[in-house]
Amino acid sequence: MKGDRIIHKFHKACADYGLIEEGDHILIGLSGGKDSLALVELLGRRAQIYKPRFQVTALHVRIKERAYVTDLTYLEDFCREAKVPLLVRDTEIGEARDTGIPGHRDIDNPCFLCAWYRRKTLFNVAQELGCNKIAFGHHRDDIIETLLMNLIYQGAFATMPPKLKMDKMPIEIIRPLCLIDEADLVAHAAERGYQKQVKLCPFEHVSAREKAAELLAHIKQMNPEAVDSMYAAMTNIKEEYLPPLKR
């Protein structure tokens, strides 16, 4: 039943947010975790349906400085079964560790740097292949955690949208798992027998996102339906509830 719910929410997200269109070539960011594996499985299956017709390619990015190891043979077999071509690219942060973004030059921002260089590679490969969309495996909990992080650290009511058009290139970011809860993905991974990564990121349990995940877990204890309410709140902001700005 968990699998049926995931498939239903996946198709609902694609329909509600217009994530897949005729002629799309979608590049999937495949880390090897449960979320990206589910994304490959679901998009690969969807691509076999007659309409709309679209292409899917998966990309696994390895960063030299990060001990974040996934069994490449397993990824190759998994993508072959899902009928999704797989590419593997190696990159490195390098000694400069310079993204060109103020405040993000050194090892004090390891998670930002890792994500930035992975995404840079994804965008470069997407343009090489002529892909018009990049798909990430962010689920509903990820979206709420990002909302909490922005509220706490940035003072902004903002998060990752299901669909985002880039300003400087003809590429859109899509998140087809945006309506799916992480608990359902955990259960689906167990049911499908997904192989866990060989070695996880050394910063996995010390990041701001991990703290946001802990906060969300506490909120769920207060109200099991909190994620439903918080997700709905992002599309239901009423001006009369906002405090007046100080002049």
Name the CATH superfamily, with its identifier, for domain 2-237: HUPs (3.40.50.620)
pLDDT at 70 (0 to 100): 80
Q: What is the mean pLDDT of the chain?
A: 85
Helix (H/G/I), strand (E/B), else coil: 135: strand
pLDDT at 216 (0 to 100): 92
For residues 22 and 43, what is the distance between their CA atoms, to the nearest angstrom? 14
Tokens 């000694």 belong to residue: 95
Residue 241: pLDDT over 70: no
| Cβ-contact 121, 91 below 8 angstroms | yes
Residue 219: pLDDT over 50: yes
For residues 173 and 135, what is the distance between their CA atoms, to the nearest angstrom? 6
Rounded to the nearest angstrom, the gap between the alpha carbon of residue 115 and the centroid of all alpha carbons in its chain is 11
pTM of structure: 0.85
Sequence-distant (6+) residues with CB within 8 A of 73 are none
pLDDT at 153 (0 to 100): 85
Find which of 96-100, 106-110, 225-229 is predicted with most confidence, using mean pLDDT: 225-229
For residues 65 and 118, what is the distance between their CA atoms, to the nearest angstrom? 12
pLDDT at 104 (0 to 100): 45
The token duo for 209 is 């996102």
Residue 31: pLDDT over 80: yes
What b/e sequence results for 143-169 when a residue is b if at least 16 CB atoms lie within 10 Å of its CB, and e otherwise? bbbbbbbbeeeeeeeebbebbeeeeee
pLDDT at 32 (0 to 100): 92
Averaged pLDDT for residues 49-72: 85
Residues of the chain with pLDDT > 90: what percent?
59
